[in-house]
Structure 1
Amino acid sequence: MKILLVANMYPSKAFPSYGVFVRNTENILLDAGFNVEKVVLQKKMGKVAKLLGYAKYYASIVKNGLRTDIDVLYVHYAAHNAFPLLLLKKMKPSVKIVTNVHGSDVVPEVQSQEKFQPYVKRLLEISTTIITPSNYYKKLVRKKYGVTTPIEVFPSGGVNETVFYPQHENRDSLCSDLGLDPSFRYVGLVNRLDVGKGWQFFVEAAAQYIQENRDSDVRFIVVGSGKEEDAFKQSVLDQNLQNHLIHFPLMKQQDLAKIYNVIEVFVFPTIREGESLGLVGLESMACRTPIIGSAMAGLLDYTVDGKNGWLFEPSNANDLYVKLVHVLSLSRLEREKIAEQAYLTAQTYEQKAVQPKLAQIFSSIEQG
């Protein structure tokens, strides 16, 4: 079977983490013995470059989709790919499309994304199979669009266990690699600094913690960039956190693994209904570092409060602060117990564990 992978997000040297889960699914299919070609769009800077990039990308989708040797198209992100795929379906009614929906596909983050919704619904209706990253998102897709298309759950390529694994015994060395002082305890956040990601609540909770514990040895780490980066930096200044919070821009996965192994707890403060899974949380857990997450969306698929992590009320910085105080006051034995459960949970999402599911989806299409 020859699969044409279609995605408007894919890693590049300049943006190594951009759409890395797409490349993960590509590798899984290749390892399973499928023949995979791809039409992808890497991140472009500037309106003209984006416009030209999308024009060439859309044309390539249609051109390659019409080829007789392509058995199925596997598309990531319905919203930005619906137009060329619907056109392709009209030109070649026999074409098979597997649509993997994510985040803003189903729950637009900004008003400008609403215009794609009718096309998303139509694409899902004509798809052979829909893939969602979590059971939460499967229910959401079925409820919102009322589609009868079969829906399978596959967790965004899974966690790469060759990158994300426990290295706490090397903490001092990892701190040195990152330019961090190993004498401090660290609390971390890794995410885009964009609408709905909840970085504001992390900053507020951090400021409250420092205010109440002025002699604390706790420091806060934020890894990420995005449209709200300037607002984030201003908030850090406004809260007088510049000496207590370290900000890193986007990182390669290998460096993110170092962050996860250096911090004691990972904070996931999303307020997005469209948080379809939250792979970063699982990556942290795979490093034996539990999370404090918003009690909503895809996080509820894998986080059990007080067992393998902790949950707080979404948008409530004070509740997050209370959970931070609790977690940072636990004994080593208590933290180890939660960390072990977090690690065991993450193992069920590792690539080797989930790979058979994706292969099974495409094998069923090939046979049926």
Structure 2
Amino acid sequence: MKILLISNMYPSEQFPSYGVFVQNTEKILVQHGIQVDKIVMQKKTSKLSKLFSYASHYANVVLTGLTKNYDYLYVHYASHNALPLLILKKLKKNVKIVTNVHGSDVVPEVPSQEKYQPRVNDLLQHSTKIITPSPYYKGLVEEKYKVHNPIYIFPSGGVNKDLFHPYADKSKAYQELNLDPTIRYLGCVSRIDVGKGWEYYLQAIAKAEQQMPTSYKYLYVGSGKDEAAFKEMIKTLGLEEKVIHFPLLPQSSLAYVYNAIEAFVFPTVRKGESLGLVGLEAMACGAPVIGSQIGGLKDYIIDGKNGLFFEPKNVDELASQLQAFINLPEDVKQQMSQQALQTANRYTVDVIAEQLPTIFFDEVEK
């Protein structure tokens, strides 16, 4: 089988985490003997370079699709890749498209993303098969687009257990991050951007610590458009001594973060949170997840077992859950950690790797 992988997000040396799950799916296909060519974009930082990159990307998709034959065109991010594929489909009707939808493909985060929705709908209607990251997101696709094409679930490349696993000796994690090993930490890994809930995390920390001061500190790993507002809020709330901010880190360093924290805080407010792979990666390192009861998080967090839920945007409830976790007896924290590990084990690359090739070989409509 020969597949053309198409994506406007793909890792580079400068941005190794950008679209890394797309690269992970490519590796799975190749490991199963499938030939994979790719037309992908890497992250650009200027508007002009983005414009030229998209123009070249779109032209390459259409030209390659017309002049070469593939069993499937496998596309990640319907919203930003639909246009050239729809053009190609008109010119070459027998082309088979497998569309992997996630995130803002189905639930736009800002008004400017709404303009892509008609194309997303058209692409899904013309796709031979559709892949979604979670049962939750599959339901969204079915409800919103009324598609009759088969929809499969594949959890975004899975968790790499070679990288994300609990350390027997946590001292390495503290050392690599330059953290004090005598202090306990909770943490969050996310872009500092709209819909990520960073502001509710900071406000909840301030409220929790005001009501019940602790020796805990709180990590935040990430960068983004709202970083200036993020830093200003830390000052306004007087959290300079409580919040430790790291910029965007490569996946290899995230393993240190997940091993340094007792629990992972996932304050997203995005209905388009199609899976929440970072939460599962944290669980794979033994960190329970204190997460918003929203999106794909509802498919793997079991309240009181492997994590705690709170209502999205509810600062009071998040603050209460932070306090609740901190006050848990040590044996209960260990039980939650073990439950988190068991949950993550269902999403490891080894476990799910067989699912993706099966989707492409499966000719039975579901």
- Judge same fold: TM > 0.5, yes or no: yes
Is 1:179 the counterpart of 2:183 in the alignment?
no
> How many residues are matched?
365
- 1:130 match: 130
Report SS of the residue matched to 2:169. Answer: helix
Equivalent residues in 2 for 1:142-221, closer than 5 Å: 142-167=142-167, 169-214=168-213, 216-221=214-219
**Which amino acid counterpart does residue 345 of structure 1 have in structure 2?**
T
Deviations 1:162-206 (A, max 9, x none): 111111x32122111111111110010001111111011110111
Deviations 1:233-283 (A, max 9, x none): 111111111111111111111100110000000000111110000000000
- 1:102 match: 102
Could you tell me which of 262, 273, 290 is aligned with 1:275?
A: 273
Deviations 1:212-236 (A, max 9, x none): 344x220010001111111111111
- 1:140 match: 140
- 1:231 match: 229
Instruction: Report the CA distance between 1:209 and its aligned residue.
Output: 2.4
What are structure 2's unaligned runs of at least 5 residues?
A: none
Report SS of the residue matched to 1:326. Answer: helix
Quote the Cα distance in structure 1 between the aligned partners of 2:61 and 2:163.
32
Q: Which runs of 4+ in 1 moved over 3 A?
A: none
Instruction: Report the CA distance between 1:103 and its aligned residue.
Output: 0.7
Quote the Cα distance in structure 2 between the aligned partners of 1:179 and 1:360.
44
Quote the Cα distance in structure 2 between the aligned partners of 1:63 and 1:165.
43
Does the CA contact (< 8 Å) of 2:29 and 2:356 recur in 1? yes
Q: Output the aligned Cα RMSD.
A: 1.2
Quote the Cα distance in structure 2 between the aligned partners of 1:264 and 1:67.
53
Q: TM-score, normalised by structure 2?
A: 0.98
- 1:116 match: 116
What are structure 1's unaligned runs of at least 5 residues?
A: none
Report SS of the residue matched to 2:23. Answer: helix
**Which amino acid counterpart does residue 331 of structure 1 have in structure 2?**
P
From the superposition, tell whether residues 366 and 32 of structure 1 become closer, same or farther in structure 2 (CA, over 3 Å): farther
Quote the Cα distance in structure 2 between the aligned partners of 1:138 and 1:204.
33
Quote the Cα distance in structure 1 between the aligned partners of 2:148 and 2:338.
40
Instruction: Report the CA distance between 1:210 and its aligned residue.
Output: 2.5
Does the CA contact (< 8 Å) of 2:212 and 2:323 recur in 1? no
**Which amino acid counterpart does residue 312 of structure 1 have in structure 2?**
F
What is the identity percentage for the equivalent residue pairs of Structure 1 and Structure 2? 53
Of residues 56-65 and 281-290 in structure 1, the stretch that sits farther from structure 2 once superposed is 56-65
- 1:50 match: 50
Instruction: Report the CA distance between 1:365 and its aligned residue.
Output: 4.7
From the superposition, tell whether residues 155 and 337 of structure 1 become closer, same or farther in structure 2 (CA, over 3 Å): same
- 1:27 match: 27
Quote the Cα distance in structure 2 between the aligned partners of 1:342 and 1:295.
17
- 2:317 match: 319
Instruction: Report the CA distance between 1:68 and its aligned residue.
Output: 3.4
**Which amino acid counterpart does residue 288 of structure 2 have in structure 1?**
P
Q: TM-score, normalised by structure 1?
A: 0.97
